[in-house]
Each structure stands twice: as C-alpha cells, then as structure tokens.
Structure 1
C-alpha cells in the first residue's frame, strides 16, 4: 500500500530537520546524505523520493529556519503586527545567550555563511530570502524614518555579524561583549530621529 501524501510531507520534514541540525554542527561538506538519512531514521534510498541532490536538501534546510523562528522569513508584502516590538524582540532573541548556546537552532545567516557562499544557487537563494525576511521586519519598524532601508540593513549586519564573531572566539567575555555591543547599536538604529 502506498504512503499517504501526509506521510510524505512528514518524512520530508524529518529529513530537512535532521539535515539542518547536522549542517549547523558540521557544515555542508562534512555531512553526507547517509548521515542525514540515518539521523532521520531512514535509508539512503528514501532520500531521492524527496530531493534531487544534496544541494537541494541544503536549500531546504536553510529555508526551514522559518519553522524554528517565526519572524525570520517575513516577506515584503506581509504585514508585521506591532513591528517595533517584533524588531526589538528579534534583536534580543538573535543575540541572546540561549541562541548562542543552542547549536542545533543556530540561524543559517550566522551558522553557515561560508558554506552558503560556496554552495549552489538554490542554497544561496534560500539564504537571501532569510536575510530579506529579517530586513523586512526591521524596515516595518522603521517605516517613515529617513534612511530606513540603510538602518534596516545595518541592523541585519549587526545581528548576523555579532553572532558570527561571537561564535568564533573562545573568550567568553569577548563573546558576550561583542553581542552586547551589536545589540546596543542595533537598538539605537530603531530610535526615531
């Protein structure tokens, strides 16, 4: 008896979640299809029922971040309710100790930039969409402010850059200081002229 369409969706989601966690921990090059499928409790043969290639899976894993962070992929026509509160919440969450310490939930924007830069067009598009979603939230919070676009992009750069740098140092004080500085500057950009 064939599997139901719902079963196929659930299985694909399980594979994507497994891949996202493994890519976050080990990077694109170090993770094999066999490892992803074993982690998902499936065989390699099942992989090709859901994905055309490892690049296809990687793009799906990058795009899946929206499922673990509901404000990561807002699109340009989506209305953001209470955008100032949402923007502040995003800055606070993004640069938090909890997010830094939980490798499995790291956002691809700071967890995978080098991998994505070397990846194919599909992963790069998924990464770009995440970046645009984050920028959209900040733009909504800055609506009507002169240079809102530049401020929104600076906020994205501060959040992502702050986390990239914090992840790369083994000095706990510097990790905290980098994130606090990025948070302070990002929130300062939210203030009205």
Structure 2
C-alpha cells in the first residue's frame, strides 16, 4: 500500500530536521547522506524519493530556518495578537543574541553557522541562505518607519551586528569576550531600531 501524502511530508520534514542538525554541527562536506538518513531513522534508499541531491537537501535545511528557528517557534506559541513591529524586531534581536541560542548548536542560524559551507555548496543553498537573510531583514525593516531615510542601511547594520557577533561568540575560545561582543552588538542593534 502506498504511503499517504501526509506520511511523505512528515518523512521529508524528519530528513530536513536531521540534516539541519548535522550540517549545523559538522558542516556540509563532513555529513553524508547515510548519516542524515540514520539520524532521521530511515534507510538511505528512501533519500532520493524526497531529494534529487544532497545540495537540494542542504538548500531546504537552510531555508527551514525561516520558520523553525527559536524566534519563529516562540511566535507560533504566542497566544495573543503579535506585538507591534518595533517590539517584534527587538524580540528578534534579543532572541538571536541570547545565551540559549548560542549554547545550542541545533538552534544556530545558518547565517552565522554555515556561511563558508553555503559558498561551497552551490547556487541552491546560496539562494536559500539569501532567503533567510531577507526574512530576517524584513522583520527589522518593518520596525522602522517609512520616513527614516537610512532605514535600509540600519537594517543591514543590525543584521551585520547580529550575525557577526554570533560568529565571533561561536568561534572564540574566550566565553567572556564572546559575551561582551554580543552585549555590545545587542545594545547597538537596539539603538538602531529606536528612532
């Protein structure tokens, strides 16, 4: 008996989530299809029923961060109307730069966890990476009034502060230095949101 569309969708989602965790921890080149399928508790033979290539899976794993990140998951559980755009953007910055996110490699955003890998993986992952960047930028841009003349520059600077400080915090051997850099980035990003 053939599997239902719902079963296929759930299986595909398991593969994507397993891949995302492994790619975040080990990088694109170091993770095999066999490892991904084992992590998803599936056999390798089923991989090509869902994806034409590892690069296509990588692109989907990167793209999945748009709605499977700590901030988006928090909003999905939100029981009230969503906060106004400026508060939403502040929440994004706070969540992005939090200790919780830094300490959990499975929650790492591909913008700071995977940039070198994405460059080497090809156009599909690069397009997915760009979509994640645009999604984050859109939340920040919505927080700034239309009459702010340097709104786009502010958004780019906030993204750079968030992503750059997380790269440094993730890679430095000195936790105090990483914390200090994230605190400065948070302060400056929030100041840029205040007009």
Instruction: Give the TM interval when normalised to the shorter protein.
Output: over 0.9
Unmatched segments (≥5 aa) in structure 1 = 73-79
Q: Distance in 1 between matches of 2:141 and 2:21?
A: 30
1:99 to 92, 101, 106: 101
Aligned-residue offset at 1:146 = 1.6
Q: Distance in 2 between matches of 1:10 and 1:35?
A: 19
Which residue pairs with 1:43 in the alignment? 43
Which residue pairs with 1:146 in the alignment? 149
TM-score, normalised to structure 1, is 0.93
Aligned-residue offset at 1:143 = 2.2
Which residue pairs with 1:24 in the alignment? 24
Q: Contact 1:135–1:156 (CA<8 Å) still a contact in 2?
A: yes
Unmatched segments (≥5 aa) in structure 2 = 74-81
Q: What number of residue pairs does the alignment pair up?
A: 185
TM-score, normalised to structure 2, is 0.92
Q: Contact 1:108–1:127 (CA<8 Å) still a contact in 2?
A: yes
**Deviation by residue 1:129-184 (Cα, 9 ceiling, x = unmatched):** 00011111111111221210110111011101110111010101101001001111
Check if 1:122 corresponds to 2:124.
Answer: yes
Q: Contact 1:19–1:58 (CA<8 Å) still a contact in 2?
A: yes
Q: Distance in 1 between matches of 2:135 and 2:84?
A: 16
Aligned-residue offset at 1:81 = 5.6
1:49-60 correspondence to structure 2 within 5 Å: 49-60=49-60
**Deviation by residue 1:81-126 (Cα, 9 ceiling, x = unmatched):** 6110110000000000000000011111111011011111110000
**Deviation by residue 1:44-78 (Cα, 9 ceiling, x = unmatched):** 11000000000000001001112322549xxxxxx
- Tell me how large the CA RMSD over aligned residues is: 1.3
Which residue pairs with 1:75 in the alignment? none
